[in-house]
Amino acid sequence: MIVLKGRVVDGNGGPPIPDGAVVLEGNKIKLVCRQSELPPYPNAQVYTAENATILPGLIEAHTHMGWGSAVAVDWVSITPQLSMARALRDLSQLREQGYTAIRDLGSDVILLRPAVAEGLLDVPRIFGAGKIITQIGGHGDAYQRLTLEASLHTYSPAIIANGVDEVRRACRINMRNGADLIKIMTTGGVFSQGDRATPHSHFSQEEIRAAVEEAENMGSYVTTHAQANRGILLALQNGVKCIEHGFYLDERCIELMVKNGCYLVPTLAIMHASKCYFEKKPDVLPYLREKTQQSYEAHYRSLELARKAHIPVGVGCDFLGDESFGCSYQDATLELERLETAGFTPMEILTMATRVNSRLLQMEDQLGTLEPGKLADVLLVSGHPDEHISVLRNADNVKLVIQDGRVVKNLL
């Protein structure tokens, strides 16, 4: 049995318990209470620290484990073995910062779960969509400097699908590999070679509906990479439940998102990292620099529309594991900082990174808040991150990480 003592932020968005305690038994939370109400547990392992806060494990809702580079042409040399080695590095970096679960939206990392189940790997909980599903020339058709025939025979984080039948097949391949949700691409993107940041869309409404039907058949939902307005609208009109990025939202998009109960995962951090990179190296990758400049300010305007409409916002950095570009997973908490810049309070951000993200995992009954009966994913952090989100920007402030009732990081 484990007992943690300190300020308790339970992830529900309410005020902290100043002198609180959380009791863990096995891999479940047994009790959340004030220390004055704590029953005696003479054989428990007790953890506490001066000026510390106890909170749920963080969830990262938009990752790409194992990519290793922000430059698509580099991916042509990736092997499955190299990708998985990089994924293990990325997962380790995330857990050092307090992330106990991830939602991966484009890689083969879900194939590591059997190794986790056998006890061969000790990593954050893995949820994911498997490979991206995109169209010819879409975002994720990464090797457009090669012929299509050549690119189809390279190792890729994407499945290129055209037509309803191919979309269904791609969804079913991901399901067969254990996907928890489906990820499609209804617009181009900043990091793809063949498109611009204009009012365009990818996939037909019939193809989108096919993906939605397949996801619903597996008891899940479709999320989409959608930056341009036309592609966002087409996705929302055809049953997609979550928008990733959403650079060019407008009032019509917002109205549909509210009506359909949709989520937004804005991924501010990757755009900020891109902007900073291009300011230092203005002559590199001009097509990336151009699209980043066009989209950066629109991104924050769109998020403000969503915030005012009370659309549920998830927290995901969309990093690619590229330290030279500024998007290494050891800096994933940059997303928390950028959300504060966008107008969210530290407490709102913590709730988004825990309770809201658990809903995106479809695990809200087991993760995301500190409540009896839920899985024991718990952090003990120096300081008050509910008042100063910058506390979480330093992994050394994350003193204790408990995942599934096991201590997996201990700096106390």
Report the pLDDT value the prediction gives residue 280, as an integer from 0 to 100: 84
- Inter-axis angle of helices 164-176 and 205-217, nearest 10: 30
Residue with tokens 């181009």: 188
The answer to whether residue 300 scores a pLDDT higher than 90 is yes
How far from 12 is each of 169, 284, 353, CA to CA, in Å?
Answer: 39, 44, 11
Whole-number pLDDT of residue 192: 63
Q: Where are the beta strands (DSSP E) in 261-397?
A: 263-265, 378-382
What whole-number distance in Å separates Cα of residue 62 and Cα of residue 74? 21
Residue 64 CB neighbours (<10 A): 24
Residue span(s) of the chain under CATH 3.20.20.140 come to 58-332
For the beta sheet containing 242-245, the strands, ordered from the edge strand earlier in sequence to the opposite edge, are: 158-160, 132-134, 182-185, 222-226, 242-245, 263-265
Residue 161: count of CB within 10 angstroms of its CB: 24
Residue 32, amino acid: V
Q: Looking at 309-405, which runs of residues are DSSP E strands?
A: 378-382, 398-403
- Per-residue pLDDT reduced to its tens digit, 129-156: 999 999 988 887 776 667 777 777 677 7
Query: What is the arithmetic mean of pLDDT over 219-230?
Result: 96
For 394, phi then psi, to 5°, come to -115, 110
Contact 213, 175 (CB under 8 A): no
Superfamily of domain 2-57+367-410: Urease, subunit C, domain 1 (2.30.40.10)
pLDDT of residue 149: 75
Give the 3-state secondary structure of residue 48: strand
Mean pLDDT of the chain: 93
All CATH 2.30.40.10 domain ranges of the chain, comma separated, are 2-57+367-410
User: Do strands 158-160 and 125-128 pair parallel, antiparallel, or not at all (unpaired)?
Assistant: unpaired
Alpha-carbon span 328 to 317, nearest angstrom: 10
pLDDT in tens, 75-130: 777 888 999 999 999 999 999 999 999 999 999 999 999 999 999 999 999 999 99
CATH 3.30.540.10 fits 58-332, yes or no: no
Q: Average pLDDT of 218-226?
A: 97
Please report where in the chains the tokens 């106890």 appear, as a residue.
54
User: Among 161-175, 319-333, 397-411, whose mean pLDDT is lowest?
Assistant: 319-333
H helices of 107-246, where?
Answer: 113-117, 148-151, 164-176, 205-217, 229-237
The whole-number pLDDT of residue 197 equals 57
* pLDDT value, residue 290: 73
Report phi then psi at 25, rounded to 5. Answer: -130, 120
pLDDT digits (tens, 9 = 90+) for 316-375: 999 999 998 899 999 999 999 999 999 999 999 999 999 999 999 999 999 999 999 999
Q: Which two tokens stand for residue 298?
A: 């629109």
Q: Read off the pLDDT of each residue in 4-24 and give the average, rounded to a whole number.
A: 97
CA–CA separation, 412 and 410 (whole Å) = 6
